[in-house]
Chains A and B, each alone.
Chain A
Amino acid sequence: MKVLAFLATIPIEGPDERAAAIPSAQAGDLAAFEALMRRHERLVLVTALRLVGNMADAQDVSQEVFLRLYRNLDKVEEARNLPGWLYRVTVNASHDVLRKRPAADPMEYAAHVPASGLDPQQSTAEAERRRVLEMSLRLLSEKERAALVLRDLEGLSTEEVARVLGSSEATVRSQISKARVKVKGFVERYFRRRT
Chain B
Amino acid sequence: MNCTHWEERIALYAGGDLPAAEAAEVERHLGDCPGCQLFASGLKESLQLLQGIHQDPIALAHFAAVRARVMAELEGSLQPWWRKAWMYGLAVAVAAALFLMLALRPAAPVHPKRMAVQVLLPQVDVAPPEPVVPRVIKAHGVRRPRVRPPAVVPRAPGPPIVVKLLTDDPDVVIYWITDNSGE
Our verdict on whether A and B bind, yes or no, reads: yes
Cβ of A118 to closest chain B Cβ, rounded Å: 9
Contact residues of B between 42 and 56, Cβ < 8 Å to A: 42-43, 45-47, 49-54, 56
- Residue A100 is within 8 A (CB to CB) of chain B in the complex: no
In the complex, what residue of chain B is closest to A44 when comparing beta carbons? B66
Q: Judge whether A92 is part of the interface by a CB distance below 8 angstroms.
A: no
A173 close to B17 (CB less than 8 A): yes
CB of B57 to closest CB in A, whole Å: 4
A181 within 8 A of B: yes
Report the separation of the CA atoms of residues A136 and B45 in the bound assembly, to the nearest whole angstrom.
14
Q: Cα distance A113–B61 when bound, in Å? A: 9
Q: How many residues of A contact B (CB 8 A)?
A: 46
Q: Are A28 and B67 in contact (CB under 8 A)?
A: no
Q: Which residue on A lies nearest to B12, using beta carbons?
A: A177
- The reply to whether A188 and B70 contact each other, CB–CB distance below 8 Å, is no
Known: A152-B50, A153-B51. A42 touches B63 (CB 8 A): yes
| Pairwise interchain contact B59-A114, C-beta atoms closer than 8 A | yes
B46 to chain A: which residues have CB within 8 Å? 136, 180, 183-184, 186-188
User: Please, which residues of chain B bring their CB within 8 A of the CB of A126?
Assistant: 56
Inter-chain contact A113/B11, CB cutoff 8 Å: no
* B14 at the A interface (CB under 8 A): yes
Question: Does B43 lie within 8 Å of A184, measured CB to CB?
Answer: yes
Classify the secondary structure of A's interface with B.
Answer: helix
B126 within 8 A of A: no
Interface residues as binary, A44-55 with B (CB distance below 8 Å gives 1, 0 otherwise): 011001100001
Interface 9-mer from B72-80, B85-93, B142-150: B72-80
> What's the least CB distance linking B150 to chain A, in Å?
61
Q: Please report the C-alpha to C-alpha distance between residue A1 and residue B54 in the assembled complex, in whole angstroms.
A: 32
Interfacial residues of chain A within 175-194, with CB under 8 A of chain B in the complex:
176-178, 180-181, 183-184, 186-188
Contact B67 A38 (CB under 8 A): yes
Instruction: List B contacts of A103 (CB < 8 A).
Output: none
Q: Which of A37, A42, A67, A130 contacts B53 (CB 8 A)?
A: A130
In the bound complex, do residue B15 and residue A41 qualify as a contact, i.e. CB atoms below 8 Å apart?
A: no
Residues of A within 8 A of B69 (CB): 59, 63
In the complex the two chains form, is B58's CB within 8 Å of A45's CB?
A: yes
Which chain B positions have C-beta within 8 A of A67?
70, 73-74
A132: contacting residue among B17, B53, B67, CB under 8 A:
B53
Find out whether the CB atom of A59 lies under 8 angstroms from the CB atom of B65: yes
B50 and A133 contact, CB distance less than 8 A: yes
Q: Which residues on B sit within 8 Å (CB–CB) of A114?
A: 59
In the bound complex, do residue B71 and residue A30 qualify as a contact, i.e. CB atoms below 8 Å apart?
yes
Does A112 belong to the interface (CB within 8 Å)? yes
What are 5 A-B pairs with beta-carbon distances under 8 A? A28-B78, A115-B59, A130-B53, A133-B54, A177-B9
